[in-house]
Chain A
C-alpha cells in the first residue's frame, strides 16, 4: 500500500513541476475490438472439435468493435463509451450500451466505477489499487505516439494484460480499469489479442464538464466485492458449462 502512495506522490510531484504541461489534458478515442472465437477457445469445457468449429465458422469475421473514450487531466480520468448508444456502422441500427463509467482521482487516490454486469448495475467506490506493472523492452507507435510496453496480470479473470503507454502524455490514466504507468496507456491487449483496445485519436484540449461523473443508481460495492462477484460468476458459469463472458465485460 505504502509503495503506491509513494508512487502517486512522485507522479504528482513531477507532473506538477512540468512546464510541458499542455499535453496533459484532453480526450483519447479508442477502438475496442473483441475476438469472440478466441475467447470461446479458452472455455475449458469445450472439446477441441467444438472450438475449431467456432473458429472455422466465425474466425474470419470475428471483430466486434466499439468506440470508447478516455477523458483525462493530470489528476483525474474518466473512461466510457464514445457515443451514448451502440450503433451499426451506417448508424441505422442502434442498441443500448451496458452502463460503464470508470473514473479515477489520482490526487485523492479514489475511484468510482459504474459497471453493469450480471444483470445489475454496480457502483464500485474504493481507493486506488494500482496493478503491478512490469516494464518491457519494446516500443511501438500507437496513434502517432511512441509507446513502451508494460505487462501485468488480472488475477481474477486470469488474463495476461499488455499495455502500451506513451511517455509523451504524462498522465497515469488508461482505458478500462487500467492505469498507473508513467504515461497514458494508448493500447491495451487483454489475453494476447482476445480484446484489443487501441487509441485512434489523441486530442489535447482544456476540459470543461467532461470529467464530471453523472449520477447513477446502483448497488455500492468495494473492489473486494467486485472481485468476489466475478470469481463466483466465473466459477459457476464454467461449472455449468456456460460462457461467462456474455454477462460480464471481458
Chain B
C-alpha cells in the first residue's frame, strides 16, 4: 500500500514537473467566461454553471448566468475543468476546458439542447422518473410507469412518452421507427423488434433506453454512413426481488435419540411462502421465536388485532395465546426438558400476500406431543391444630396431544380513512391419556390407607376465534370510530374410564375398608361466545382526547356429562348410570361494559384517566340428578366501577417513567363454574361452583427505565401491587380418610406485592459487562381448610448477578449467580413454617479454534435447601458441544453434543403452596450424545457472542 502511494506520488511529481516545463508561461490564476445560448441562439439567463474536476466530477466552483446569459469565474486556478451548464428543460451542457495561456479564457457561446417536451412532461413531471443523460442517450426507469401485473413490455411501452405502437406492434419513438430492440444491449432473437416487446413481461424490465445507433450496415462495413437508427434497449432487473432459502438439521444420538428439523422460504416482492417441520424425541416441543418469525414472515406481528376496545395506556403489546389451548401458533414455549420423556412432531405451511393496501395471511400448522412421565412424589398437607399428613405417590402418565391449527387474517385499507381487519383462527385437537398411580397415606409416620388408580381417556375438541374490526377515521384529525364483532366457539367431547381401588385400614366394616370406583364418564360441552365493541375517539384539542368505549358479550355454555358405573354381566362389561354424578348444565354470562377516559398526549407525555362501569349477569340451569330431573337455577348479577389511571413519560435522554392504577374484573372460568364432580383422582375430588362471582383485582404498578447508549449503563426499577376482592380460591375439606375435596369460592383480602431493580454496566466497555438484579415478592393467600381460614404468607428475596466476559473474538464467557430465599408461613399450622434456599450458579463458555472449529459448554449448578425437611440437594448439569463449519461455501455445520454429562438431570421440583409442600422427582432425559449435521442455504455463522436482542 505504502509503496503504491510512493509510486503514484513520484509519477505525480514527474507529471507536475513536466507540466511546469511545458506551461511555464501560463498564468497561475485565470478568469473563465462564456455565454449560454439555446438552440435558437437566444441567451439563457439564470442557468447554473459549474466547474468540476474532469477526473471525478468534483464540484470546484459554481455560479449563474446573468440576464444576458453570461457567466464568469474569476481568479480560478488555471487547470483542466469540466464545465457544466444546466437549466430547466435543457440537457445539461458539458465541455472540458484545458489550461490556457490567456488570463481570460473566453469560451464564447455555449449551446444547450432542449429536452423533448414529452420526456419533460411525462417522464419527469408525471412519472417522476429520473432521467439519465449519457451523451445523446436518454434513459429512464421503467419501474416508474405502472402497468397491471402480467402486462408485456408492449403494454408498458404504450405508456411511455414519445412512443407509439400501432396495431401490428410496430414501435415509433419520437416519430421515428424503432428498428432495433435489444435486451441488456444484446439483440433479442433476430431482428424483429416486436419479438422482445411482445414476449417479455413488463415486470422483468428495470430501465428503458432510447438512442440513435449506427445502422447495422455501417457497423459491418466500419464506414459511418451518417445514418442513425432509433434503437431501444431494455435492461432486465437483476432478479426482481425473488428468492428462496432454507435450512435443515438432522441429528442421531445414543439412547435412540434423534432430531430432524427443517424450514424453507420462498418469496417475491408481494408473496411469502414458508414451510417448517420438526421431529424429535429429545423433549423439544413448541416453536422457537426465530422459527416462528421465519414461518410467519410479514404476518408474525400484527398491531391493532385486539377487538375488545378499552382503556389505552400508551404502551403497546402483542399477546400470544396459550401454547396448548390457544387457537393460534404461539412461539416461545417448547415443553419442559426436565419433565419426563416426549416425542414431538410438527409441520406447517404459511402463505402471505402483502401489499401496502391488502394483506392476507393463511397458515396451517400441526403439532403433536407424545409423552411419558414416571414420577415419585412426596407431599405433606397441613391441617388445623398443627396436624398434618403425608402422601407418597408413584405414578405413570402417558399422553398424546395432536393439534391442527388454521389461522387466517385479512387486512384491507379500503381508502385512507377506512380499514377492515378480519381474523379467523381455529384449532382441532385430538388427545388421549392414561394415568396410573399408587398412593399411600401416612399420619405420624403410620401407614393409614392407600389407593390404586388406573385411568384412561380421550378427548376431541374444536375451538375457533373469529373477529372483524372496522376502523374509520373522520376528516377531522384525531376523530375516529371503530366497531368490532367476534364469535368464539369451543366444543369438546371427552370420555374417560376411571378405575380406582381404595383401601382404608382404619375402617370397621369390609364395605368401608375397600371402596372401588369403576366408571365411564362422557362429557360433551359447547361454549359459544358472541362479542361486540365500539370505540369513539374525539379530539378536544390537539393534545386532549376523549375516548369512549362499549363492550358487550354473551357467553353460553352447555355441558352434558354422563357417569356410568361399569360392572360385569355375562362376562361382558355393562353400564348403569350414576345419577348423583351425572349432570346436565346450561350457563350464560352476559357482560356489558361502558367506559370513558380522557387522554393527554404531548411531546412524550401520555396521561390518561377514566372510569368504566361493568355489569355481569350470570344465569345457570342444571340438573344435578338425572333420575329426579330436579332443576337447579342460578341467577346472579354483579356490577362494578373500574377506574383506570395511567402515565407514560419520556423524560429525555433515554429515561422513561410509567405508572398505572387499574381495576381488572375477571369472570370465573367455565371449568370453575360447572357443578361437576371430578373424581378422576378419588383422593382429590374437585367440584365446580356455579355461584362464583367475578374476581376484582386492583393493581398499582410503575417503573423507571434508563439506558445510556454512550456508556452502556442501564437501570430498570419497577414495582407492582395487586389486591384481590372476590378472589377465586380453592377451599379444601379433608376427611378422616385424607380424601381432599376442593371447591372454588370467592374470598377477599389477599394481596401480592413486589419491587424489582436491575442495573447493568460495563466493567470494561465491549469486553466485560456486569448486571445485577434484585427482587422482593410478598404475598398473602387466603383459603379455607376444613372450614378454618388459613392465611399463607410468602416472602421471597432474590439477588442475581451476571457477568459477561467478551474479551476476545475467539473467546467469551458468561457467568451468572442467583440467590433466593423464600419464607412460607401457615396460620393454621405454624409448626410447618419453612424457609427454602434456592441458589443457582451457571456458566456458558464459547471458544473459537482455528480451522472453523468451535466449542461451547454450559454448566449449571443448583443448590436447594429446606432445613425443615432435611432437604439439601446439589445438582450439577453440564452440556458440551463441539462443531465445525464445513464446506467451501460455509453452508454446513457438523456438531457433536453431549447432554447432561454428569447424568444428574433428576427432574426434581419442590414447591410450597397454600397448605402443602411437595417434592417431586420425574424420570427424565439424562445423559446422551448426539451427532448432528446442519445445512443452511444462506451459510452458517457461528455465534461466539450471545445476542443482546434481535436488533
Contacts and interface: CB of A to CB of B under 8 A. Distances in A.
A14 B247 CA distance: 63
A183 interface: yes
Interface string B280-304: 0000000000100110111011000
Name which of B59, B707, B765 has the most chain A CB atoms within 10 A of its CB.
B59
A135 B86 CA distance: 11
B754 interface: no
A94 B46 contact: no
Contact of A52 (B59, B245, B296, B539): B245
B604 A240 contact: no
Contacts of A18: 46, 64, 66
B545 A92 contact: yes
A20 B46 contact: yes
B23 interface: no
Interface string B864-881: 000000000000000000
Interface stretch (A57-65, A69-77, A102-110, A204-212): A57-65
Interface of A: 3, 6-7, 10-11, 13-14, 17-20, 40, 43, 45, 47-50, 52-54, 56-61, 84-85, 90-97, 116, 118-121, 132-142, 144, 146, 148-150, 167-168, 170, 180-183, 229, 233, 236, 239-243, 246-248
Interface in B34-61: 45-48, 50, 52, 56-61
Nearest to B45: A20
B331 to A, nearest CB: 12
Interface in B224-275: 245, 247, 265, 267, 272
B611 interface: no
A119 B710 contact: yes
B887 interface: no
Interface string B79-98: 00000101111001010000
Nearest to B134: A137
A93 B88 contact: no
Contacts of A134: 52, 56-59
Given A91-B477, A137-B92, A59 B709 contact: no
A240 B290 CA distance: 21
Contacts of A11: 62-63
Nearest to B473: A90
Nearest to A151: B57
A248 B654 CA distance: 12
A242 B765 CA distance: 12
Interface stretch (B448-456, B507-515, B938-946): B938-946
Given A59-B298, A236-B766, A241 B938 contact: no
Nearest to A99: B652
Please give me the 10 A-B residue pairs with the lowest Cβ-Cβ distance, nearest first.
Answer: A96-B604, A247-B709, A47-B941, A140-B130, A167-B48, A182-B62, A118-B710, A243-B951, A48-B938, A239-B766
Contacts of A132: 58-59
Contact of B62 (A7, A45, A168, A241): A7
Given A10-B63, A119-B708, A96 B652 contact: yes
B888 interface: no
A209 B629 CA distance: 87
A207 B178 CA distance: 52
B50 A135 contact: yes
A85 B602 contact: yes
A181 B300 CA distance: 44
A141 B128 contact: yes
B650 interface: yes
A20 B65 CA distance: 11
Nearest to A59: B298
A90 B603 contact: no
What DSSP secondary structure best describes chain B's contact surface?
A: mixed
A231 B94 CA distance: 39
A141 B125 contact: yes
A17 B88 contact: no
A20 B45 CA distance: 10
B62 A49 contact: no
A70 B943 CA distance: 45
Contact of A167 (B88, B298, B948): B88
A41 B413 CA distance: 29
Given A139-B92, A139-B124, A246 B951 contact: yes
Contact of A90 (B50, B314, B477): B477
B543 interface: yes
B132 A137 contact: yes
B64 A56 contact: no
Contact of B131 (A7, A133, A140, A142): A140
Contacts of B46: 18, 20
A20 B64 CA distance: 11
A92 B480 contact: yes
Nearest to B302: A61
Nearest to B762: A240
A14 to B, nearest CB: 4
Name which of A50, A56, A97, A241 has the most chain B CB atoms within 10 A of its CB.
A56
Contacts of B545: 92
B3 interface: no
B59 A135 contact: yes
Name which of B58, B709, B938, B940 has the most chain A CB atoms within 10 A of its CB.
B709
A133 B951 CA distance: 33
B936 interface: yes
Nearest to A13: B63
Contacts of B24: none
B947 interface: yes
A60 B298 contact: yes
Contacts of B601: 92-94
Given A96-B652, A120-B710, A247-B709, 17 more contacts: A50-B950, A56-B265, A57-B293, A61-B354, A85-B604, A90-B478, A135-B50, A138-B130, A139-B92, A140-B128, A148-B86, A167-B88, A182-B62, A182-B63, A182-B64, A241-B948, A246-B951
B372 interface: no
Given A120-B710, A141-B124, A242-B948, A14 B478 contact: no
9 contacts: A47-B940, A48-B941, A92-B478, A118-B709, A134-B56, A141-B124, A146-B89, A181-B59, A242-B951
A116 B290 CA distance: 34
Given A134-B58, A167-B88, A49 B124 contact: no
B133 interface: yes
B597 to A, nearest CB: 12
Contacts of B473: 90
A4 to B, nearest CB: 10
Contacts of B92: 137, 139, 148
Contacts of B941: 47-49
Contacts of A242: 712, 948, 951
A130 B540 CA distance: 47
Contacts of A150: 59
Nearest to B46: A20
Contact of B938 (A52, A59, A141): A52
A33 to B, nearest CB: 13
A96 B605 CA distance: 8
Name which of B48, B56, B88, B537 has the most chain A CB atoms within 10 A of its CB.
B48
Contact of A140 (B67, B129, B480): B129
B653 interface: yes
A1 B153 CA distance: 52
Given A56-B267, A95-B603, A119-B653, A135 B84 contact: yes
B936 A49 contact: yes
B59 A53 contact: no
B263 to A, nearest CB: 10
A180 B59 CA distance: 10
A94 B543 contact: yes
A85 B600 CA distance: 13
Contact of A85 (B296, B301, B603, B765): B603
B572 interface: no
B916 interface: no
B92 to A, nearest CB: 6
A241 B947 contact: yes
A59 B243 CA distance: 14
